[in-house]
Structure 1
């Protein structure tokens, strides 16, 4: 089993120190991950790669804040908000991937 085979859900389960694999807990973790991605996208982060270390850190901070990890939810939320702001301001994360010249939005030409 390769180390990179670990899913983001499993990484969050480990970060939150949750050993249970119940479907309800797994669904809650996955909902939290999806909410974090939506929040990042809403604030201008366009490059959300689940393998990127800073994206993983942002998701971890978000999940720890949402789960109230170690009664330090507010500190995790502040750290998440700071990282989110830095990602949104970074050209590496706020620039949409280039569109291929063969991509078209419609079949009509400008003729």
Structure 2
């Protein structure tokens, strides 16, 4: 799936039909933030987080966007809980994990644990 197609899918899930540059920019920023969040904590490999080929990763990004989009979002807590649940599920599955999670170096020492 291309980035443009995924953007359109997220936008559709948010029930947005406008082509307002500000709204499109917010959606793009949220997608980027969700992808980075999945990668930075070692939930998924960087390539997987940014390619969005796995259905679970896609659903996590969509849930993140639904939780964070807009100012008056009554369902924000529900979608954030869904995102955290998916993120936690993904982090327990070795085929999605980033190399960052397998690092056994003790912080600030350089010693191998």
* Superposition TM-score tier, normalisation by shorter sequence: 0.7 to 0.9
> How big is the shift at 1:43?
1.5
Which residue does the alignment assign to 2:74? 71
Q: Flag structure 2 segments of 5+ consecutive residues without an equivalent.
A: 100-113
> Which 5+ residue runs of structure 1 have no aligned equivalent?
97-111
Match of residue 24 from structure 2:
26
Tell me which residue corresponds to 2:96: 93
**Larger radius of gyration, structure 1 or 2?**
1
Normalised to the residue count of structure 1, the TM-score between the two structures is 0.75
C-alpha distance in structure 2 between counterparts of 1:43 and 1:90, whole Å: 14
- Mapped to 2, the partners of 1:74 and 1:95 lie a distance apart of 27
Aligned residues: 93
How far the C-alpha of 1:34 sits from its partner, in A, is 0.3
Deviation at 1:28, TM superposition (A): 0.7
